[in-house]
Structure formats: C-alpha cells, structure tokens
Structure 1
Amino acid sequence: MQAGRATPDVIIVGGGAAGLMAALTAGRRGLDVLVLEHGPEVGRKILISGGGRCNFTNTDMRAECFYSANRHFVKSALSRYRPEHFIQMMARHQIPWHEKKLGQLFCDHSARDIVHMLLAECRAAGVRIMTDVRVGAVTRSDVFNVQTSAGVFVARALVLATGGLSIPKLGASGFSYDVARQFGLPVITPEPALVPLVFGQADEAWVKTLAGLSVPARVSCGKVAFEESVLFTHRGLSGPALLQISSSWRAGLAVMLDLLPGQDLAEHLGRLKKSGSKARGAGALARWLPQRLAQSLAELYAPQRVLAEWADRDIRAMAAQVHHMALHPTGTEGFAKAEVTRGGVDTRALSSRTMEARDVPGLYVVGEAADVTGWLGGYNFHWAWASGFAAGESIGAAV
C-alpha cells in the first residue's frame, strides 16, 4: 500500500482493468491520480482470465458485439481506442501474444504480463495505488470526499471502476451501483451473464445423461444465435456457444439447439435409407453425431426398426429433434459462475464520449460497472480498456 497526499486530482475506486487504464491515461496528462483497491493486489480478474493467459481483446471489435439498453453507447469509445492501440502498448513492453479462433487474442505466457505492464505504465505516469483499502461513505460538495479505512481523500474527480457482481470470490460488490444511486444515476438490475444455464426436471434428466460431452452446436434464443461448442454438465449446459447465448436469455424463453450445424440430417438419413441400411437408430446417427449423443437421441426419438423401414415422417421427426431441439432453462448458475455482469449503471445517464455522469460533473463510471456487456472472446476486457481510456482522457482535459 502506497501512501501519499490526501488531495489528489482524481480518485479511482477499483484497481481492475478499467480502473488501471483510466489511471494511467489520466496520469499521462500530468494529473495526480490515486487508485483505491479493496483487495490485496490489483488486476485479480485479469490474472484468472483466459485460463491464466488473458484474452485481452479481439480483432473483430464492433459495437454489435455488445449489449446495453443504450445500444449505440459503446461506439464512441470503441472508435477512439482500438485493439491495435492496446497491442502497441504490449509491443512497447515486449509482451508476446497469439491469436486463437474467432479473432481472440491471448498472451503467450501469462496474464500477469498484462498486470505488470499496466502497473509499469501507472508508475511511469506517477499514479499512486493503495491496496487493502476499504472505501466507505462518498459525499460531494464542490469536490468528492471519500472516507476509507486509510483516511479521508478529497478530489475533484471520482471514477467508479469496481466492476459488477460476477465472481464474488474475488471481492465483487455493488459499490459502484450504490454510489451511482446515491447521486441519482439509475441502475439497470444487475444479472449474471456469460454464465451456464440450468434446467427444470424434464430437460435436466436428459442433459445429465450426457454430462462431460462437448459438441459443436448452433445455439439460439429469439433472433440471436451463436455457433461454437456446447458442454453438457451435471447441472445444465455450458461451453462457449451457450455462455454467449446466456447474455440474451431471459426467464421464460426457450433455448434452441442445432446439434449438427451446417448439415442436413434428413438428407443424410434419406440417402442411408435408400441404400438399404440395416443400421438401427443409434448406429445410423453415430455416423454424424458422437456415440453418446446418438445413443441418447435414439432412445428418446428413434423407431425401433432398422433404418430401411423408417417412414419419411420418422426421418423428418428425428432431424427436427437434432436441428431444432427446444430446451427451457429455469435459471443460471448465478454470479459465482458468471464471467461478467449484465446491467449496471444506466449508460443513458453517462456521456458516451467521456463516461462522465451528465448531471454529476466529475463523476465517471467505467468498465463492467456500466450497463455494457460484451460477447465472450476479449470484448469485455476491451470495453474496460476503451472506457477507461475515454474517462482518463476526459479527466485530463477537465480537471
């Protein structure tokens, strides 16, 4: 914990991705910046991300890859801080990286390289960071007064960067929401996102029989669809495609699975039938589906006759189950298993260019604390970089 003046220009509450980016950006403009982190170290969510290698951004950075009640809000920040800007900073620190599927960029070595880079940039910019500091009451007259376990700090600008409610074991809290409400900013109800879904008794019984199986699938909910892998678990469904669709799912909606995307099972089975195949349900389906899945589907839906004796309607019915399976989630596995939080401080109360509250000069909200949720694959980290940069640039010009 680094002590210092009690009257910095800027106080940033939260030492995660967005808070550190806001700090180093404002610090580069010559401001006295103080970061207050309630945990023992900064960047803990960065450290556990991407299997310890941090999926730090994505090459396909579009506004359409984000959810918000104010759907155009992200455009300004994303246009001014692009993936190449973060990559340039990594190059200065000689951090190697690689691209995986779907434009996802990861560190070659460790996510800790990202944290070390951000800390080095903060040091170079003169940013002070205090860890193990609990923040209590926040009041405002012409300046913000922040009461903490390390004393009272006063600043003209306050940045809320404490994230959302996901991953409570890392100390997630609703602090940013509470302060926002205190100053009259509306908060859209926070909910788990990028999270496994759970099911009622009927669907759950079938899903559990396939626990541990991962299959390519197209998962849709309403008009939204993602095609990647789905993982069957003892509690429900997970895997990249399912996590993606969880951000669109709402209670009462069905989730549709296409377990053989890009193919036509009816056509496959029709050809096999014409060949006079003596295969029965599981044996026929296993030509295109994993054995366990084929066996499970055959037990539920396949006629007990050999394929050559199936009626055309039997083939159509089986194809419908494979390509248009409807499951009905009853909920999610909650914030403990959610990668991010959906909802947060209503972005309609914020400037899209600066992240500053429209009616509370000097108050900024960045990163996951705001109602912005990205797709899986580096989008949420990039929102942290872009929103933190936008706030840091604005504070530097305004204070």
Structure 2
Amino acid sequence: MPDHSFTSPSSNTYSESTFRDVIIIGAGASGLMCAATAGYQGKQVLVLDHAPKAAAKIRISGGGKCNFTNMDISSENYICQNPHFVKSALSRYPSSAFIELVERHGLAYEQRELGKLFCSERASDLIQILRTECDWAGVEVQTRCAIQQLSYEDGLYRLTTSQGVFQCAKLVVASGALSFAKLKATGLGYDIARQFGLNVIETRPGLVPLSFAGRWQKRFGELSGLALDVSVTAGGRSFNEAILFTHTGLSGPGILQASNYWQAGEPIVINLLPKKDVFAELLALKKQGASLSKWLQRYLPKRMVQQWLEWYPLNDQPQPDMANISDDSLRHYGEQLMNWTLYPSDTAGYDKAEVTLGGVDTDEVSQKSFEAKKQPGLYFIGEVLDVTGHLGGYNFQWAWASGVACGLAL
C-alpha cells in the first residue's frame, strides 16, 4: 500500500494475533449498521476506527440534528457510473425500515421540506441507537485504532494496528471518503481497494459550495447572508431549492445539489423566478407603465433587486420607462432573469464538502453482497464506493441500506 496512508508498525505493537469472524474498518453510519446486522447473524464482529469517537459525521450533520433519511428514496437520487447498482440494496432496506428501527428506540424526529427526516433533539440520540444495537449484537468497537499494515494470506486478513494485530476471514471497508477532513477523513479505503487490484473512480468534492473569483466574488460578498428560492441547473440537472450568497461565492441547498453535476469550466444557470411567467408579467408592466424595480421586489429581496438593476439595467436605464421598451427587449430581459449564467472558479474543496463523488468502482463489487469480485472476503460499503446521493438524507439511507445488505451476506 502507499506509504502515505499507513505508518510503520511501532516497536511496542502487540505480538499476539486476535481472530474475529468479521472486522469492519470504520465506525460510521454504514460500518455500525453492518456490524449490528452481522452480529445478529451470530458473527464475531470487531469495528476499528482511527478517530477518537464513533460516528463523528452523524454528530455534526444537519446542523447537529442529522437528516438521517428521506420519505421518498429511489435510484434517481443517486450518482453512480452504474445507475442500477443501488437498486438492490435500497429495495431490500427502504427508508421505512430504518424509520421502524428508530421508532422502536423511541427517537423523536421531524419531517421537513421535500421529505427530509431529522432528529428532533440531537444527532447523538441516533448514534446512541446504533451503539445500543451493536451492544445487543455483541459487537466490539475500538476507536483510536489506526491501521498500519494490511495483508492477506491463506484466506485470512491480517491487520497490524496501533492497538494490536487482528485477523479475520471477512474484512469490510466502511472507511468513508475525503469530505470533512476535520473529522480525520482519509483515503484509506481507496488505498485498500488499489492494494487488491480494484479500480477507483477519480474523486472530487460533492454537495459543496461554489467559489467565484474577481468581480463576482466581490459582488456576491456584498450580498453575503442573503438567501433566494430559485432553480439552479448544472450538467443538465435542475434543482428548485434555496441558494445563499457568501463572501466567496454561492452556497445553500440548490448550489450544493448542483455542485454534484458541475464540472470545472462549465456554467451554472439560475432561474431567479422559476414559478413565474416572466415575459407575460413584463408585458403587463409595459402596458401599465409600472415600475420594474417594484415588480422585482414582489419576488426578490430589496438588496438583491438594487444590485441586480446595477448589474443588468434594462436598456442601460437604471429606472426605465417601461411603456417605451420594445417587446424584444423585454423578452431578452426575461431570458436574463430566467437564465442567469455564471461561471464558478472552483468548489470550496473537501473541507466544506458534505460528500465525495467517485470512489471504489461499483463494477468491482457485488450489488447484493458488496463483496469484491476479484478478492474473496473483502467488502466495500457506504461512501467509499462510487455512490453519491443528493442532499436530503439520501447518503445516510445508502449507508443504512448498504450496511444491512453486506451484514446479511457476511
């Protein structure tokens, strides 16, 4: 394996080798779900994680309340080079199954817009449910345990770690991806895949704010904190959700969604008035001789309208006489409002990304068991795979579904 992912074994590494039926690398959403499922099947399960606490990403997600699933889940909510890959696991463990689990534990939750489900109190309540399930299933969880070396011989995986040497017949990689570096995210899972000859799809930040340079960064900075309900299109996909102006560019749910489809050098297109027949309303303004500024302020914040009319004055007039504007000019202006085309300079990077696009090639893995086709007893689940959900609880549902499918197959 590449040296950057593994330190050399320390001189005080334990010499004894401890065997488990299953070892899972990663105590996150998919890893804990898989562990509990396998434990209930009678397997001896050990979960290892190099971070100080289990499920750190759950703890901070959704503003500390964790958007843990969605009422409406389908394969259309996922990005994967093989669009059919997710169907089996999602159909066998739908969101209703996870809702039933948390309800058995008495978790208070709330439904928000677009079918999103959040913990009513705090995400740590959800973590406690997962830990309780693991306890009931007899699962061991070892944090602060760094993987130093990994080898495979005679049908067994041998892991040299900072907490000793362990062996197993089945090894599950649930190590997550590169987003949230502050939570000690690493590319360990990709290194393991490459070690055993599996292809890894190039990764990039997903569900991430977009940055702008030059005059647009300055302009957006002046509107920082302002939110708009719009439609955002990138890479042929459109999302009707809010955007947020920031000091470096654009964020908010609509931008995060679009970022999964945006490629460097390509534009994003924003429809500022997605629910309006803009041209018809502009013609009505002309007939009435009414104010363009006042009309825009019906639908957009005053600060935005003031800036917009400075950036895009109609017929180069700050306060145009609508009665004297040609229909063609109104049509072009309406197009500008509905197709505001912008060119981001970059994403805000993995530090601000909620997920990672790309990962272990799903063609290398069974969609039913998640076992690597080339390597017996090696499994990959959760975000380490080339599966990325839209914003709205879809990535957590993928973690639950892939964890359960793998756990049942171990």
**Shorter-normalised TM range:** over 0.9
Could you tell me how far apart the structure 1 residues matched to 2:329 and 2:299 are? 17
- Which secondary structure state, in structure 2, belongs to the residue aligned with residue 388 of structure 1? helix
CA distance in 2, matches of 1:36, 1:342: 24
Kindly indicate whether the alpha-carbon contact (under 8 Å) linking 1:282 and 1:297 is maintained by their aligned counterparts in 2.
Answer: no
Counterpart of 1:311 in structure 2 is 326
Partner residue, 1:190: 203
Query: Is residue 84 of structure 1 aligned with residue 99 of structure 2?
Result: no
Alignment of structure 1 residues 206-245 onto 2, 5 Å? 206-245=219-258
The residue type paired with residue 345 of structure 2 is T
**Structure-1 separation of matches of 2:324 and 2:222:** 28
- Kept in 1, the 8 Å contact 2:17–2:167? The answer is no
* CA-to-aligned-CA distance 1:152-209 (integer Å, 9 cap, x gap): 1000000111100000000000000001100001111111000001123243343333
Structure 2 segments unaligned to the other structure (5+ residues):
1-13
User: CA shift at 1:83, angstroms?
Assistant: 0.7
Q: How do 1:169-208 and structure 2 match up within 5 A?
A: 169-208=182-221
Other-structure match for 1:28: 40
**For 1:84-163, what aligned pairs fall within 5 Å after superposition?**
84-141=96-153, 142-163=155-176
Are 1:293 and 2:304 an aligned pair?
A: yes
Q: C-alpha offsets along residues 215-260 of structure 1, whole Å, 9 cap, x if unaligned? A: 0110011321100101111111111011001001111211000011
Provide TM-score, normalisation by structure 2. Answer: 0.93
Distance 2:370 2:66 in 1: 25
37, 41, 51: which one aligns with 2:53: 41
Residue 360 of structure 1 aligns to a residue whose secondary structure is coil
Determine if the alignment matches structure 1 residue 250 to structure 2 residue 263: yes
State how many pairs are aligned: 391
Question: Partner of 2:5 in structure 1?
Answer: none
**Alignment partner of 1:335 is 2:350:** yes
**Conserved 8 A contact 1:200-1:328:** no
Whether the 8 Å CA contact 1:161–1:367 is kept in 2: the answer is yes
Contact 1:219–1:255 under 8 Å retained in 2: yes
Match of 1:368 in 2: 383
**In structure 2, C-alpha distance between the alignment counterparts of 1:144 and 1:5, rounded to whole Å:** 11
SS at match of 2:47: strand
| Corresponding residue for residue 53 of structure 1 | 65
Q: In structure 2, what is the Cα distance between the partners aligned to 1:178 and 1:339? A: 21
Question: For 1:298 and 1:309, how far apart are their aligned partners in 2?
Answer: 18
8 Å Cα contact 1:203/1:328 also seen in 2: no
Partners of 1:317 and 1:301 in 2: CA distance:
11
- Provide, for residues 1-42 of structure 1, a one-character-per-residue CA deviation record: whole Å limited to 9, x for no partner: xx9981010000110000000100000001100000111110
Larger CA deviation: 283-292 vs 241-250: 283-292
281-290 or 19-28: bigger deviation: 281-290
**Which residue of 276, 289, 293 maps to 1:282?**
293
C-alpha contact 1:196 1:246 (8 A) present in aligned 2: yes
Unaligned runs of 5+ in 1: none
Distance 1:19 1:50 in 2: 20
TM superposition shift of 1:292: 1.4
> TM-score, normalized by length of structure 1?
0.95
Residue 247 of structure 2 aligns to a residue whose secondary structure is: coil
Equivalent position of 1:384 in the other structure: 399
Distance in 1 (alpha carbons) for counterparts of 2:282 and 2:313: 12
One-letter amino acid matched to 2:286:
K
Q: Residues of 1 paired with 2:217 and 2:283: CA distance?
A: 31
Match status 1:351 vs 2:362: no
Residues 1:5 and 1:82: Cα distance change in structure 2 (over 3 Å): farther
CA offsets, 1:97-155, max 9 Å, x none?
Answer: 11101010111111111110000010100000111111111100110000100111000
Which amino acid letter does the alignment assign opposite residue 100 of structure 1? R
Q: Once the two structures are aligned, what percentage of the paired residues are identical?
A: 46
